[in-house]
Structure 1
């Protein structure tokens, strides 16, 4: 006979499974809007701008800035009104951004298009909370699986976004890509409908006032500083190359559809290894996996520099995604191992601020570098930064300072 405790545990996880499934479906749709902007943002900017094309990737940068600006407000809003209404508002913002982007393209306004992608980024800040929300009603045993389900939705998002571009970019022909952003609005509205069925109780406000060490003291600790450095390098360099890649492919005579499919395989490579990256970290160590990720980013640059065929672009983008996965997740694991529990919120917030700040700079710089010096220079820029991160990581390990205190 099943005990009441076991039965309650089963009921709780049944709710958690339902929520995780719904959030994974919403991730597949809501997460696809990022792929749409990455695949077409630079190309659209190129078409909308005048003779000076150096700002072509600005719409991708404004999307990143929107995500950075929305991370804290999204968390605070959901803390006040709950997960479900917060997520639905986020989807509505994404739909508004898609409609605004479509109108901007139809009217030929580059500035309005960049503003519209900022709202897309703001919506993405809510999407990034899905994996955390999936654990809210889960038992300790089911939490890793709940996160994996949502990550699986991320893989589908990498397919849905580029395929949406391919099927809808000529909807308003001869004006390209306006249809893709109108479709973005549709994806967000479908995701909002799915999110209406999520059932997560509002969290209780914690009265814990424990602050731990001052933030400046925490960030000056060697292990934390190098973990943040590796996370910034992994994410920013990935963004530098990824943002420029679709525009570079079209400039090399490849089609916009080929560029969209390249981003598709890149995003799949970013998320697919997540199912076993944790096991690799547990077996080989955080620093080792982070170093492998940085090495894969460098390998991506080498492949990109050896040729301009479709195969070279796609292979470079796949390696870039794998490098991001190992490098960024490894660096994140290094960070979580280096601070005290009561310092978690402040350290993670400071880390995210550093990461997204440099990602915004990288995505903005990629268009400038591509326009002035070409695709080759975009990839040459990887090597000195990766060398710096690998040197710092090697020093950390050789001096034994990576060990938990």
Structure 2
């Protein structure tokens, strides 16, 4: 648990600084319409990382898989740093994609923590790994300005500083990744299972929460760029504290009242956040909106993850969890791209309105009567289980 916690904290710190800096670099290099493209590359990398991690863990165990993907993140952060220094946007996209691959391993780590505890405590266990992001929430954005000053002292571009911090943090994640969690016997699974009732509610809820959060958060960086990195760092820190700091509370709620209740609460927070962002004209108002946006996402994310950890068959759990996370992160790439277009058409208020509408979509599935007991999944594809270590 300590190893999982430390690696996730380091990766969140890396992604927080690198994503914000990459957004600003793209806006300067190619205009506001391209500002969401680097973040989209990172999100696509995260999607592929979660899908890959789920399959590799089921075959080779958690330790080798996490180390391999965290090593890829170190390479990605280094490539992104070189791209910012040379002002080369295509290379920056490659670096962000590779960095995202490592982030995918960090995201799937919450399910590894859930495997260590009984069913009635899984929500809290996975929420503790989500809570590790609090370290990134505090360090990532607040290190942007010091990193920028360090970079300029070496006659490098100011925005190269936060990406250099990401290089260091990904290396930390690689060094501390020594976990060896139980890996249940795996069987090949058909992705038709993603349409089953037990998976549909988490998918829709987590995808829509991710879309809303990514769209509004990404454009907040651009909306506040004129205030300077110091103020921007504070607002993004408040947002990320909302995303991670109260995760144990979300886990307790999911264990005590069920994942659907946590999802309902998350939808409410996201809608209020969108309304607050629409009317916010000052830093204090945006900070409140960003906190609610982060906690609404957290509730939906932890609630959906708790459902997947408790109700999926053990022999197909990690693969399906990886597939769900891949859909969540892959679809949110659309939010990064679309948010830039919406910002160009109608500014920040239009992004907030569309985000609020998307947040309401899960009500169409969460409100359906839940089946009594675990919902059946399609039979797995025939396969001979492979032996793995750890």
Relative to the length of structure 2, the TM-score reads 0.84
State the Cα distance separating 1:72 from its structure 2 match: 3.0
Answer yes or no: is the 8 Å Cα contact 2:46–2:104 preserved in 1. Answer: yes
Partner of 1:187: 169
Match of 2:284 among 311, 315, 319: 311
Q: Which range moved further: 310-319 or 140-149? A: 140-149
State the Cα distance separating 1:353 from its structure 2 match: 3.3
Q: Which range moved further: 23-32 or 290-299? A: 23-32
With over 3 angstroms needed to count, the CA separation of the structure-2 counterparts of 1:82 and 1:289, relative to structure 1, is closer
Answer yes or no: is the 8 Å Cα contact 2:194–2:324 preserved in 1. Answer: no
Partner of 2:7: 26
Q: Aligned with 2:149: secondary structure?
A: coil
Q: Aligned with 2:34: secondary structure?
A: coil
Match of 1:200 among 180, 184, 197: 180
- For residues 336 and 387 of structure 1, the distance between their equivalents in structure 2, rounded to whole angstroms, comes to 24
In the comparison of the two structures, how many residue pairs are matched?
Answer: 370
Q: Which range moved further: 321-330 or 225-234? A: 225-234
With over 3 angstroms needed to count, the CA separation of the structure-2 counterparts of 1:254 and 1:32, relative to structure 1, is same
- For residues 135 and 335 of structure 1, the distance between their equivalents in structure 2, rounded to whole angstroms, comes to 10
With over 3 angstroms needed to count, the CA separation of the structure-2 counterparts of 1:210 and 1:246, relative to structure 1, is closer
- For residues 58 and 119 of structure 2, the distance between their equivalents in structure 1, rounded to whole angstroms, comes to 24
RMSD: 3.0
- Asked whether 1:46 is paired with 2:27, we answer yes
With over 3 angstroms needed to count, the CA separation of the structure-2 counterparts of 1:82 and 1:316, relative to structure 1, is same
Partner of 1:178: 160
Match of 2:43 among 33, 58, 64: 64
Q: Which range moved further: 123-132 or 76-85? A: 76-85
Q: Which range moved further: 125-134 or 273-282? A: 125-134
Answer yes or no: is the 8 Å Cα contact 2:54–2:319 preserved in 1. Answer: no
Answer yes or no: is the 8 Å Cα contact 1:81–1:202 preserved in 2. Answer: no
State the Cα distance separating 1:298 from its structure 2 match: 0.7
- For residues 199 and 316 of structure 1, the distance between their equivalents in structure 2, rounded to whole angstroms, comes to 36
Partner of 2:216: 241
State the Cα distance separating 1:79 from its structure 2 match: 5.3
- For residues 245 and 78 of structure 2, the distance between their equivalents in structure 1, rounded to whole angstroms, comes to 30
Max radius of gyration: which structure?
1
State the Cα distance separating 1:334 from its structure 2 match: 4.3
Structure with greater contact order relative to length (CA < 8 Å, sep ≥ 6): 2
Answer yes or no: is the 8 Å Cα contact 1:101–1:112 preserved in 2. Answer: yes
Counterparts of residues 78-157 of structure 1 (less than 5 Å): 78=57, 82-134=61-113, 138=116, 140=118, 147=126, 150-157=129-136
With over 3 angstroms needed to count, the CA separation of the structure-2 counterparts of 1:134 and 1:299, relative to structure 1, is closer
State the Cα distance separating 1:345 from its structure 2 match: 4.5
- Asked whether 1:291 is paired with 2:272, we answer no
Residue by residue over 1:231-284, the C-alpha shift from the partner in whole angstroms, topping out at 9 and shown as x without a partner, is 21111111111111111111xx32222222222221121122221223223444
Q: Which range moved further: 238-247 or 127-136? A: 127-136
- For residues 319 and 263 of structure 1, the distance between their equivalents in structure 2, rounded to whole angstroms, comes to 12
- For residues 125 and 310 of structure 2, the distance between their equivalents in structure 1, rounded to whole angstroms, comes to 22
- For residues 78 and 339 of structure 1, the distance between their equivalents in structure 2, rounded to whole angstroms, comes to 16
- For residues 9 and 159 of structure 2, the distance between their equivalents in structure 1, rounded to whole angstroms, comes to 21
With over 3 angstroms needed to count, the CA separation of the structure-2 counterparts of 1:164 and 1:90, relative to structure 1, is farther
Q: Which range moved further: 362-371 or 142-151? A: 142-151
Partner of 1:16: none
- For residues 247 and 364 of structure 1, the distance between their equivalents in structure 2, rounded to whole angstroms, comes to 14
State the Cα distance separating 1:350 from its structure 2 match: 4.0
Answer yes or no: is the 8 Å Cα contact 1:170–1:177 preserved in 2. Answer: no
Match of 2:344 among 367, 371, 377: 371
Partner of 1:6: none
- For residues 335 and 22 of structure 1, the distance between their equivalents in structure 2, rounded to whole angstroms, comes to 23
